[in-house]
Amino acid sequence: MQAAFDHPAGEAPALFSPDVEAVDPADLDDLEFPLLDEDEAEAVANLQRAAAEEQLNGDPKIVHFGGEAGAPLAQDAPETYAAYQHALAGHGPANLWAPFRNKLEWELARWAKMRGPTSTAFNELLQIDEVRAKLDLSFKTTNDINKIVDTQLPPCAEFQCDEITVDGETYEVYSRDIMQCIKELYGNPEFLSSMKFTPERHYADDDHEVPVYSDMNTGRWWHSMQMRLEANTPGATIVPLILSSDKTQVTEFRNKSAYPLYLTIGNISKDIRRQPSKRAQILLGYLPAARLSHIKEDETRRRATANLFHACVRKITSPTRSHALAGTPMASGDGVVRRCHPIFAVFIGDYPEQVLVACVKSGECAKCMVDATELGEHADAPMRDIAAARTALRALDDGVDAYVDACRDAGIKPVYHPFWEALPHSNVFQAVTPDILHQLYQGMVKHLLSWLTDAFGPEEIDARCSRLPPSHNIRVFKNGLSILSRVSGQEHKDICRILLGVIVDLNPVGGVAAMHVVRAVRSLLDFLYLAQYPSHSESTLKYLEKALKAFHASKFIFEEIGIREGFNIPKLHGLLHYVASIRAFGTTDNYNTEATERLHIDYAKDAYRSTNHKDVYPQMTRWLVRREQILRHGNYVRWRVQQAANAVAPVPPPPQPRVHVARHPNFKSVSFPQLSARYGAVDFREALAAYVIKQVHPEYSPAHVANLAPGWQFTFGSVATYNSVKFWLRDPQERDEGPAVRDAVHARPAYRDTRGRAVPGRFDTALINVGDGGASTVIGYQVAQVRVIFSLPVKARASAFPLGYNGPVHLAYVEWFTPFGPAAEPNHLMYRVARKYRAGLRRHASVIPVDDIHRSVHLIPRFGPQAPRHWTSANVLDKCRIFYVSSFVDKHTYITVY
C-alpha cells in the first residue's frame, strides 16, 4: 500500500490533510471524499478502521467508580496461605512439604494423584522389591496417600447427595455449598493480582468519549448494579456469579452422560478464567442426567425435564438469596474483608441450555420477544420483561389454569418455580450470553458450509482444499471436506481459515450470484472474527453490526439459487444480541462456552474414568475433591518455598524474544550450488552479495549495488541453514501480561522420512516489514516466500565484513511478491499479489535479516473456475501466478491484513 500511495514511510498519504488525519476515527464517517475513485474510497475506509482499532492497542484511560464501592470493612482476616499454614500447625515449621515427610514424598504423591497411572498400577510399582525401601517412603499404597489427603490436608468444599422429587419421581443430585465455593474462588491468593472489586469505565481517548469494553467490570451491568446497591447500602462489593451447564457424554460406547454445573465469578480476570489450568472455574454439582424415558408423552417429558433442572439448580443456588440482598463478609487472598453481594449475572450455555434456563420454547429467542417466524430477519424486537415473568410466576397461587395463561401471556413456559425466580437483582433474559462455539462455529458456519457444498458441489471444493499451500495454523485437508463427519468446533475453525479463499472465484449460476455468495461468506467471517476481539470500542462495535447487516443483505442469494427456503434459524437470530451483551458484560471471551467444553475433560470424562463404573458419582466427587486438595497444597508449597527464599530477591525472567531460531543449525554447511538445487535459491550468491555491499557501503545507491553484486567474490562457498524460525506474536489488543501466540515460518528442503517416503520441501510465505508496519494495516509490509534461513560461519562473516559486522546473525533469502495495492479486491476484500520478476523472468529475490519477518501469511491461489488438477499443495506456490492474501489465519492476521 505504501508504494501505491507513493509517500515516504511514516508520512501521511497525500489524500489526507494533517487536520483530517488527526480527527477521531468515529468522525471520519461523516467526511466526504467526492473526488476519490473506488480503490481510494476503499483505502480511506481501511484507514478509518485501522484508526478505530489502533485506539484499542494502548492502555485505556480508566475512570473508577468512586465513593464507598468495594471499601474494606474494619475487620481483618488472616491471609489465605497463613490460615492454611495454621491448619497444618501439627507439623514442624521446617518441613515445607508437610504433611508429607520430604520433597520426594510430596512430588511422588502429587504425580500419583495428578499424572500417574491407575491406583492398581501405582500399588504394583511400590510392591516391587526395594523400590519403597530405596525411596524411603512412609506410604505403601495409594490408599495411604488418600488417607493423608483426606485427614491431614485442609478440606475443600465437599459434595453432598440430596434427593429431589419432581412429578412424583425422586432423583439424586450431588452438589456443594455454593457459598463455600464462592468464598474459595474469591479468597484464592493465586487470583489476587487479577481480582476486580469495583466497576470501571474504560475509554480509548483522553476526553472519555470512546468507551472500551473488555473485562466484565468494564461493562454496563456491573456499573448499574453498583449504583443500585450504593443507593441503599453504600460500600457493596459485587460478586457476579457466572453459571454454566451442559450435558456431556463420558463414554464412547456405553452412552453414559454427566450433567455438570459450573461456577466462576466475574471478579477474576477473564485471562485467568479462560485458562482451565488456573482452576478459576469450580464444579458446583452434577445434575441428574436422566432422560425420563418412562414418560411417553413428549410435551409432558419436556415439562418434567425443565422442572427437574430448575428444582436442582434452585436448591443449589438458594443460599445466595439472602447474601445478595444484605451482603456477607468475605476475605480476599490478602485477608482484606469486604461486604460482598453474590448476584447471578451470567449464564453460559448452548441454545438448548439457554431456552431451558430462560423457560422459553425451543425455536424461540431466550432474550427477546421476536416472533418465531421472523428469526431470519435483521430486525430488533423488545427484550423479554423479567418483571412480567416474575408476576406471571406468582399466578401459581391462583390455580393451574390461571398460571398457564399468565405464563403464556408473559412469553415463558409454565415451569414450577424457576431457579432465578427468587434470586435478587437478577435478570435471566439478560444473563443469557452469546455462544461463539455453538452459535457461530457449530451453528452458522456449519450451515454455511452445507449451503456452499450444495451450491458449488463437493468435488470442486475438495479439490481446492487439497491444493492449498501449507502455512502455520493452516490445516490442509488432503482428502477435502466432504469426507468429514461429526465435524468438531476445532475443525470448523480450521475450515474458516480457508473457506473464503476456496470459493472466491467459483461460479454457481452466474457472476451476480457468485458475487453475493462471496459477500455473504465474507461478512459472516468478519462477524465471527470481530466478535472474538478481546477489547471493543463503540467504533469497532459498529463494524460488528455492519458485518451482520451485510450478511443479512446478501443471504437472499441462497434462496434465489434454491439452496434455502428461508432463514428461520434461532442461532442466526442470536447474532443480533452480541453487541448488547458486550456492552453489558464485556467482550465474549468473558463467557465463551469453549471454556466449559474444556472443563468436561477434567470434571466429567476423566472423573468417570477414575471409577469402577458402578455407583459412579460418589467416586467421581471424591476423586475430584482430592485433586483439588492436591492442587491447592501445591500452590501453598510453592508459596512456602518462596517465603523460605525471601532473603534472596527473585530475579525476574527475561522478556520472551519475539524471534527464536534454534541454537544449532539443521545443516552446518550447505554450498551455494546446493542452495540452488535443493532450496530453489537460484540467485543466492548475488542476493547475498547485494546485502554485504549494502552493509559495507551504506552510501551506495540501489542501482550501484545492483551493478556490483553479480561480480562480487566470496572467499567462502557455504552457509549454515535452519529449517524454521519461530515468532511470538502479542495481540495488540491484549495487555502486556496476556499470552503470546506462537507462529512459525518453515524453509525446509525435500527429504525422505524414516520409511523412505519422499516428503516435498516446504517454503512458507511471510509478511516482511519493509517500512514502519503497524498492527492494524498492511501499510509497511510486503509478502515474500522464504527460501533459506541461514547464518554465516564465523570465518565467513569475518571475510565478508573485514571492518566488522554488528548486524543480525540470522538472515533469510526471500523471493518477493508484488506490493499490496491501495485497497483489497471488491466483494471478498482480500488483497491480490503476484510473483515479482526482474529482467529475464527471474524472480526478484533478496537477503534480509530474519528480524524483518513480521509473521507467516497464507496465500490462497487464484484457481479460476476449476482448480488445475496438476497443482498440488507442494507445488502450487510455484505453479500459480496470482494469489489472494488470507485475512483469516488467526485473529492477529485478521487485524493486520484487512
The pLDDT of 244-263, averaged and rounded, is: 85
Q: Is the pLDDT of residue 116 over 90?
A: no
CA atoms of 373 and 569, how far apart (whole Å): 9
Q: What DSSP line would sit under 571-615, residue for residue?
A: HHHHGGGHHHHHHHH-SGGGS-HHHHHHHHIIIIIHHHHTS-SSS
- Mean pLDDT is highest, among 257-261, 319-323, 487-491, 637-641, for 319-323
Q: Is the pLDDT of residue 181 over 90?
A: yes
The pLDDT of 237-248, averaged and rounded, is: 95
* Confidence (pLDDT) at 49: 83
* Confidence (pLDDT) at 228: 95
* Confidence (pLDDT) at 26: 41
**pLDDT tens digit sequence for 301-327:** 889 999 999 999 999 999 999 999 999
Cβ–Cβ under 8 Å, residues 620 and 286: yes
Q: Is the pLDDT of residue 434 over 90?
A: yes
* Confidence (pLDDT) at 252: 64
* Confidence (pLDDT) at 827: 87
Choice between 124 and 2, residue whose per-residue pLDDT is larger: 124
CA atoms of 775 and 235, how far apart (whole Å): 41
CA atoms of 10 and 636, how far apart (whole Å): 52
Band (pLDDT 50/70/90 cuts) for residue 739 is low
Band (pLDDT 50/70/90 cuts) for residue 59 is confident
Structure-block grid coordinates of residue 562: 434454491
* Confidence (pLDDT) at 849: 95
Q: What is the mean pLDDT of the chain?
A: 88
**Amino acid type, 846:** S
Band (pLDDT 50/70/90 cuts) for residue 596 is confident
* Confidence (pLDDT) at 31: 34
- Mean pLDDT is highest, among 378-382, 395-399, 565-569, 577-581, for 577-581
Please report the beta strands in 246-364, taking only residues with DSSP state E, as ranges in sequence order: 248-249, 257-258, 260-265, 282-286, 328-331, 336-348
Please report the beta strands in 692-805, taking only residues with DSSP state E, as ranges in sequence order: 718-722, 724-729, 741-748, 751-752, 758-759, 762-763, 765-769, 781-791
Band (pLDDT 50/70/90 cuts) for residue 359 is very high
* Confidence (pLDDT) at 27: 39
Preceding peptide of 618 cis, ω within 30°: no
- pLDDT above 70 covers a percentage of the chain that reads 92
SS3 labels along 363-386? CCCCCECCCCCCCCCCCCCCECCH
* Confidence (pLDDT) at 520: 94
- Lowest average pLDDT, out of 385-394, 725-734, 867-876, goes to 725-734
**pLDDT tens digit sequence for 185-218:** 999 999 999 999 999 999 998 999 999 999 999 9
- Mean pLDDT is highest, among 7-21, 519-533, 642-656, for 519-533
* Confidence (pLDDT) at 138: 87
Band (pLDDT 50/70/90 cuts) for residue 261 is very high
The pLDDT of 152-180, averaged and rounded, is: 91
Q: Is the pLDDT of residue 9 over 50?
A: no
* Confidence (pLDDT) at 249: 85
Band (pLDDT 50/70/90 cuts) for residue 558 is very high
Choice between 572 and 805, residue whose per-residue pLDDT is larger: 572
Cβ–Cβ under 8 Å, residues 682 and 627: no
The pLDDT of 380-389, averaged and rounded, is: 93
* Confidence (pLDDT) at 117: 79
- pLDDT above 90 covers a percentage of the chain that reads 63
- Residue from 564, 478, 465 nearest 517 by CA: 564
The pLDDT of 5-20, averaged and rounded, is: 30
Band (pLDDT 50/70/90 cuts) for residue 613 is confident
Band (pLDDT 50/70/90 cuts) for residue 346 is very high
Structure-block grid coordinates of residue 36: 476519490
* Confidence (pLDDT) at 647: 54
- Residue from 233, 301, 226 nearest 266 by CA: 226
CA atoms of 823 and 48, how far apart (whole Å): 13
Choice between 739 and 98, residue whose per-residue pLDDT is larger: 98
DSSP 8-state class, residue 177: -
* Confidence (pLDDT) at 32: 37
* Confidence (pLDDT) at 16: 25
With a CB cutoff of 8 Å and minimum separation 6, the contacts of 495 are 445, 449, 477, 481, 487
- Lowest average pLDDT, out of 129-138, 232-241, 384-393, goes to 129-138
